[in-house]
Amino acid sequence: MDIKDRIRRRQRATGATGLIREYEAISPVSHLAEPIGRSSTLEQLLDALEPSLNGSLPPDTYVWGPSGSGKSAVISALFDRLETHVGSAHTPIGTTTRAEPGSRTSFVYVNARRAKTEFGLYRSILNGMLDERIPEQGVGTATLRDRLEDALSTPRKQAVVAVDHLGEPETYSLADLEAILAAVDGSLAWVAVGRDPPGDLAVDVPSTVHVAAYERHGLVDVLTERASDGLSSEAASHAQIRYVADWAAGDAHAALAALFGAAELATDAGHDRLTDADIDSATEAVPRPSVALGRVLALPRSRQLVLRELLEVDDSLSVDETAEAIASRRTVDLSAGTVTRYLYELADAGILERVTAEGDSRLGRPPSRVEPRFPTLVFRELFDSGRET
DNA sequence: GATCCACGGGAATACACGGATG
DNA sequence: CATCCGTGTATTCCCGTGGATC
């Protein structure tokens, strides 16, 4: 919804005549309704979820794989489909072949980055199951849990909940998720998504699905498809796409971030197609490894603002000096001390990297400076064209 | 009046370094 | 020589506050 608004705004601005035809198509934070080249993952997921197609509860499942391997893309697209075509809650009776009459299965996709608490999780699940408006505040967590149990208590009512992005600094772990959902009394199964191998987790999961990184040709397919949807024809050459795919080494998020950044640079420079220099500059603006943009864009406003302004500040300054510079900008209404703390916190979370300065031997502990660990060009663009994320 | 959660200040603690101490 | 201490910074941690919502 957010993204669409931004895109419309952009399309209006550019008249969709420029090099970039559709921002969403080349955005690393958006997913296609039909993921490209992940059919084996899709099959494995359907195997695991098969019981739910007949109205019974599937086993809890853990899906894992590296950054940019298409986990989110596949899961979100699949749950979307399942909810509209299989979950009968919103489907008029008799329009599709359903197993047991009256059985209702809700398929809910939850982004843990945006539902960071127990309260938020219950709220997201209820939101996906019911058409009613769910309170955001003013009501206790236990109340929400009761409400969820109510929703699940109707005979033959069940829910399969996908919870994406587990185990990141800002999100809870699979163990936490299991504990939270175990407290819910009702027919509910989960599909948890994370990066850690199942063996590293403190939880035994009955079923796992591994998603491997994209092969080179697979990633080329993804980029080709996305470029043809989002860019003017022939804006990116085949050789350029292969180059980006190689550079990204299987990480679709990084590859799309580079493509998006290059398109942005080319547009700003008035090119009608990507130059190799655009691509080089764009890849330089994508650190490897890089933090997912979705993580950055899910941060509270004030942190995103600090990150945005950070991009305008001389990056050789110390943390304190940087904070000072950021706090003095007129868009920022925070004390330098608070900005300092934000910078340290962001560094601790891996969104920034602290680099201890060398030389310059003054008294006391030597200062460090911070460098972004996220795709800066894309963040800048999404932040500036949007707002309210 | 209850409740969630982002905010934001500032106290507490860690660290680097040189010099004093045992 | 190893350890402790003081000083000046850098970094981390805690917790009350208040807006918004029900």
Which three-class secondary structure state does DSSP give residue A86?
Answer: coil
Q: At what angle do helices A252-268 and A238-248 cross, to 10 degrees?
A: 130
Q: Which residues contact A248 (CB under 8 A, 6 or more apart)?
A: A68, A219, A254, A255, A258
Which protein residue has its CA closest to C1' of B3?
Answer: A138
Helix (H) or strand (E) segment spanning residue A64: strand A61-64
Q: What is the DSSP-derived secondary structure letter of residue A88?
A: -
pTM: 0.88
Cis peptide before A375 (omega within 30 of 0): no
Give the tens place of pLDDT for each residue, A60-96.
Answer: 999 999 999 999 999 999 999 999 887 654 444 444 4
Give the tens place of pLDDT for each residue, A249-288.
Answer: 999 999 999 999 999 999 999 998 999 999 999 999 999 9
Query: Phi and psi for A190 in degrees, rounded to 5?
Result: -120, 155
Q: How far is the CA of A141 from the C1' of C19 (A)?
A: 19
Give the tens place of pLDDT for each residue, A154-191.
Answer: 777 899 999 999 999 999 999 999 999 999 998 999 99
Using the CA of A347, give the nucleotide whose C1' is nearest.
C11
pLDDT band at A8 (very low <50, low <70, confident <90, very high): low
Q: Would the CA dihedral through A385, A251, A60, A168 be positive or negative?
A: negative
Give the tens place of pLDDT for each residue, A21-51.
Answer: 888 899 999 998 888 889 999 999 999 999 9
pLDDT at A389: 31
Chain C: nucleotides below 7 Å from protein CB are 7-14, 19-22
